[in-house]
């Protein structure tokens, strides 16, 4: 993985030095995922389209970057009693992979609405799964951590996790240094905080745009309020990004670095997923396809010559989800 200059520092508490260190720590274990030039999508999205294919990452999601960086950063004695994590699925799979790699037990707390493909993927990696209501995940994970003496691996509100996710942004800048914009999905904010720190530190011109489900505009609402705001629980096809409020560590970093947050409806999330699958031949889960759906909806517009990287954050989706797309028109 390319070393990042440590002389440049991103705003907030996260630095390019931390991202550089994470990249070196992760290099033996993860893929440097491809950045694909998708010229057949240019007419659909109104720009020169590039895909950062984190759906092709180990565990089929960017989440392994942050989870593994956090666990590799901990002293061995902190891991003896295992690890516990709250997750919507992808973080849990990353934690389960890292725990298996390091030879420690893992418990993952998932919402009872988590897609079967994610639940099964976590169990196949040897982790124990605990199901609960969406809004109870973090409380239950915290209680289990205290009871078991296990290390708590937060899905986003942790500097080591953000630094790990930021390595995807550093790779984008190495692969496409002339990028005009990077568009990434937003949940709790670990990905957008890390990626935006890398992009803003390494590029003099690239905009960073975050995409949220229309029903859960946590970051947009929180920026309006000037502080993290908790929203009511909502259902969405974007199951991986249903966190109810921004992280308190991620929020100031994202606020400083992200040029704009936009919302996208479930209808257009599915349109984005179908476009990626049928025209791009890229298998993306709905939460990843938000970035394309936002453009199809008209929430984001680009100039035809803009070089835009769409970060496809994960591909953990099952055949039942893909079957729904037959009813979606483009």
Describe the strand order of the beta sheet including 260-264 as a list of residue ranges. 35-37, 48-53, 307-312, 181-185, 207-213, 260-264
126: left (phi over 0), alpha (psi -120 to 50) or beta: left
Same domain, 293 and 215: yes
Q: Considering the domain boundaries, does residue 223 fall inside one?
A: yes
Domain count, the chain: 2
Cα gap 172→195, rounded to integer Å = 9
Same domain, 212 and 300: yes
Q: Which domain holds residue 40?
A: 16-61+158-327
Q: Considering the domain boundaries, does residue 11 fall inside one?
A: no
Cα gap 235→253, rounded to integer Å = 27
pLDDT tens digits for range 76-95: 999 999 999 999 999 999 99
pTM of the model: 0.93
Please report the DSSP string for 141-179 in residue order.
HHHHHHHHTPEE--SSSSHHHHHHHHHHHHHHHHH-TT-
Q: Considering the domain boundaries, does residue 6 fall inside one?
A: no
CATH number for the domain spanning 181: value is: 3.40.50.1100
Q: Considering the domain boundaries, does residue 9 fall inside one?
A: no
Pick the last residue of a domain from 123, 152, 181.
152
Same domain, 165 and 22: yes
Per-residue pLDDT at 2: 40
Same domain, 208 and 259: yes
Per-residue pLDDT at 178: 97
Q: Considering the domain boundaries, does residue 7 fall inside one?
A: no
Same domain, 73 and 35: no
Residue numbers of the chain with a pLDDT score lower than 70? 1-12
Cα gap 210→187, rounded to integer Å = 9
* Burial letters 91-112, b for 16+ CB under 10 A, else e: bbbbbbbbbeebebbbbbbbbe
Same domain, 188 and 284: yes
Per-residue pLDDT at 135: 87
Same domain, 146 and 191: no
Cβ-in-10-Å burial (0-12, 13-18, 19+) of 76 comes to: exposed
Per-residue pLDDT at 316: 94
Same domain, 116 and 165: no
Same domain, 196 and 279: yes
Angle, CA of 14, 19 and 21, to the nearest 5°: 120
Pick the last residue of a domain from 152, 178, 199.
152
Q: Considering the domain boundaries, does residue 4 fall inside one?
A: no
pLDDT tens digits for range 6-37: 333 444 579 999 999 999 999 999 999 999 99
Q: Considering the domain boundaries, does residue 109 fall inside one?
A: yes
Same domain, 129 and 165: no
Same domain, 97 and 186: no
Q: Considering the domain boundaries, does residue 164 fall inside one?
A: yes
Coil, helix or strand at residue 7: coil
Per-residue pLDDT at 13: 78
Per-residue pLDDT at 204: 85
Cα gap 236→242, rounded to integer Å = 8
Pick the last residue of a domain from 124, 152, 180.
152
């Amino acid at each position: 993985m390319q070393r990042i200059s440590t002389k440049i520092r991103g705003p907030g508490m996260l630095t390019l030095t931390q991202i550089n260190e994470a990249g070196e720590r992760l290099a033996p274990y993860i893929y440097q995922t491809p950045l694909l030039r998708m010229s057949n999508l240019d007419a659909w999205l109104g720009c020169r389209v590039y895909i950062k294919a984190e759906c092709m990452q180990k565990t089929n999601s960017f989440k392994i970057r942050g989870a593994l960086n956090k666990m590799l950063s901990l002293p061995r004695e902190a891991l003896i009693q295992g690890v516990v994590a709250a997750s919507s699925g992808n973080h849990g799979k990353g934690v389960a992979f890292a725990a298996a790699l390091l030879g420690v037990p893992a418990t993952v707390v998932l919402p009872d609405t988590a897609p079967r493909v994610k639940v099964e993927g976590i169990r196949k990696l040897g982790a124990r799964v605990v199901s609960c209501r969406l809004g109870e995940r973090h409380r239950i994970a915290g209680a289990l951590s205290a009871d078991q003496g296990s290390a708590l691996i937060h899905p986003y509100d942790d500097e080591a996790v953000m630094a790990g996710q930021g390595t995807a942004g550093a790779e984008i800048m190495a692969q496409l240094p002339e990028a005009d914009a990077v568009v990434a999905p937003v949940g709790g904010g670990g990905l957008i905080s890390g990626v935006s720190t890398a992009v803003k530190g390494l590029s003099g011109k690239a905009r960073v745009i975050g995409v949220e489900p229309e029903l859960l505009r946590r970051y947009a609402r929180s920026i309006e309020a000037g502080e993290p705001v908790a929203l009511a629980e909502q259902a969405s096809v974007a199951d991986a990004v249903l966190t109810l409020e921004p992280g308190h560590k991620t929020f100031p970093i994202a606020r400083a670095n992200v040029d704009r947050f936009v919302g996208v409806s479930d209808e257009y999330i599915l349109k984005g997923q179908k476009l990626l699958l049928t025209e791009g031949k890229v298998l993306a889960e709905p939460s990843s396809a938000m970035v394309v759906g936002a453009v199809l909806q008209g929430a984001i517009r680009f100039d035809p010559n803009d070089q835009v990287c769409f970060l496809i954050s994960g591909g953990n989706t099952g055949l039942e989800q893909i079957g729904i797309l037959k009813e979606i028109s483009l």
